[in-house]
Amino acid sequence: MTDLVSKDLIQLIDQGETPAGKKKVLKAAIDLFAKDGFSATSTAVIAERAGVSQATIFKYFKNKQALLNDVLNMIINQLVPHYSQDVLDGMMHNTTDIKELISFIVTDRYAFMQANHNLILIVMTEFLTNDAVVAELVTKLKPKTVSLVQVIDRMGIGQLQVSGFDLLQLIVSQLLFLFLKEFRLSEGHQLNIDQQLEQIKNLVIHTAIKN
């Protein structure tokens, strides 16, 4: 199956028609929110990292929360729908085998998470602490999840011993744990990501597919 080429949000910001000063602020905020967290990041630090004045930040954003909301909205409104549709298109056109489908989802979605690791860290943090973000994510993701589950169920007829939703939930939980190991828990130790992904694929296939 052909790998999908992903663009991260920084590229989307650079390619957009957003004013140069706002682009600098957004990119600096993404980097700092992911590294230090929203609460620990001041507008002064963002301005310094972006090479602009705080007045420039407040020209485009009412306050720091508004800046965070803008970042989160871009992630939800641009990245999630775009890549979810890519995944569905790729699966439907390139495979009818459930094992290959599982392998594709695991490999492609983790590549996406790696390419956008700063954004994923922001979303994960806010998902745990911000009810509004949770509600927005659920609203945006639900239609895509339904479509993806339908594809899984259709390809897995007669082979799966779990529902498409349960299979997807298992994959997501395993990928999130690997993501945390790579970007938060490895403490400088190099992980063999390819080996880790193969282990996830084998675990999911063994758990979900009838012997």
| Residue 15 counted as domain residue | yes
* Radius of gyration, CA atoms only, the chain: 19
How many domains does the chain fold into?
1
Its domain, for residue 204, covers 9-208
| Residue 183 counted as domain residue | yes
Q: What predicted TM-score, i.e. pTM, was given to this entire model?
A: 0.77
Is 16 in a helix, a strand, or coil?
coil
| Residue 1 counted as domain residue | no
Give pLDDT tens digits along the chain (211 positions). Answer: 333 334 467 787 888 788 999 999 999 999 898 888 888 999 999 999 999 999 999 999 999 989 988 888 777 766 555 555 666 666 666 666 899 889 988 998 898 888 888 888 888 888 888 787 788 777 777 777 887 788 888 888 889 999 999 998 999 999 999 999 998 887 767 889 999 999 999 999 999 998 7
| Residue 2 counted as domain residue | no
The CATH number of residue 63's host domain is 1.10.357.10
CB-CB contact of 60 with 28 (8 Å) = no
Interhelix angle 64-74/43-50, nearest 10 degrees = 60
Residue that has been written with the tokens 């602020």 in this structure: 25
